[in-house]
Amino acid sequence: MATEVIPPDERTLRLHLESGRFRSAAAQGWWRFVGLDWPHLTVAITARDGAEYGFRFDCADYPHTAVSGRLWDLESGAPLPVNRWPGGGGRLALAFNPGWKKGTSIYLPCDRQAIEGHENWRHEHPALLWDPAKGICKYLGILHELLNSKDYGGRRAA
Amino acid sequence: MAVKEIEILLQGEHIPDIQLVTLERGKKVRDLLAAAARHRREEAEGDFHVFAEDSDEPLKDGDELPERDDGQPVHLHVHRCRHIEVAVTFNGVTEEHRFGPGTPIAAVKKWAAIKAFGMDPGDAAEHVLQLAGTTDRPEPDTHIGALATCPDCRLAFDLVPLKRVEG
């Protein structure tokens, strides 16, 4: 009988999803695991008003290479329509910018697509860079902070 | 059928990050002390204590381990320091307060921003604690005791504003 071999990047991600750090935030209702269809991870994050936003991450070569995340419709399993994106101003509006890469990436230093061409971010925002040791939990923590910030103003169409 | 095991999200001195520990239901505080020793990165002598999250007083060794009503894992902390002396600096002013080692960063930030420096909750949400002299910003659910080692039971933070990420 053939034995399924899990590649190292998927194996490491699964370990991080089972870690105390991931479970701690889940226990507090900050986020919840939705699914893993390698290399795509789906997680729902709770905002300040109780709204839940789905995110899908491309996790190929995890954790050596940063993941890339986008807003995701958990019901239809497709990119989230822009009118249902988180709305607001300041830091939040800059991060969730539908004009950036046509909405396929979050405009944050921890994102694989966004960091490309933004070498200045490495010294301007060291606390927001991808950290292979912390992996997906750090990226999720940054998103959770934004969705619970003063800049968050609710769902766009709400 | 009753669940026979409880899950504990454990933090503490010399313990890396947050460890998920599973023990049989009904186990005592002293059993968690033994489990915590197996998670420490290095040997440490002295009396360790177990703290419930946000508590100033340690649990008694013979007490049964606490559980949450909602079935989620309980956050506990193991440390030799009974308290952590915290200093937070903002705009050149430093305020100090004493917390239990199982106090989360989020609670310390709330005390500093709102109580010590008079911010409203909205402005407080736009600031974070950064370990003094570093760019390290511990996650809000990190217990402050995880950042300190006995006998140096103290920490210093800067309260810093969150910056916009622009091109």
Q: Band the pLDDT of B2: cuts 50, 70, 90.
A: low
With a pLDDT cut of 70, the percent of chain A lying above it is 98
Residues 75-114 of A with CB under 8 A from B: 90-91, 94-95, 107-109
**Does any CB of chain A come closer than 8 Å to the CB of residue B162?**
yes
Chain A residues close to B72, C-beta within 8 Å:
27
Q: Band the pLDDT of B45: cuts 50, 70, 90.
A: confident
What is the Rg, in whole angstroms, of the alpha carbon atoms belonging to chain B? Answer: 17
- Please write the tens of the pLDDT for every residue from A100-129: 999 999 999 999 999 999 999 999 999 999
A116 CB-near residues (< 8 Å, 6+ apart): none
Please tell me which residue, B45 or A126, carries the higher pLDDT value: A126
What sign does the dihedral A60-A97-A154-A131 (CA atoms) show?
positive
Please give the mean pLDDT across all residues of chain A: 96
Residues 112-141 of B with CB under 8 A from A: 122-123, 125-126, 128, 130, 135-137, 139-141
> pTM above 0.90?
yes
Tokens, residue A16: 């991080």
Whether ipTM > 0.85 holds is yes
- Please write the tens of the pLDDT for every residue from B103-147: 999 999 999 999 999 999 999 999 999 999 999 999 999 999 999
Own/partner contacts of A143-147, CB < 8 Å, gap of 24 or more, are A143/A45, A143/A55, A143/A69, A143/A106, A144/A25, A144/A30, A144/A31, A144/A45, A144/A46, A145/B128, A145/B140, A145/B162, A146/A86, A146/A91, A146/A92, A146/A95, A146/A96, A147/A45, A147/A46, A147/A47, A147/A48, A147/A53, A147/A86, A147/A92
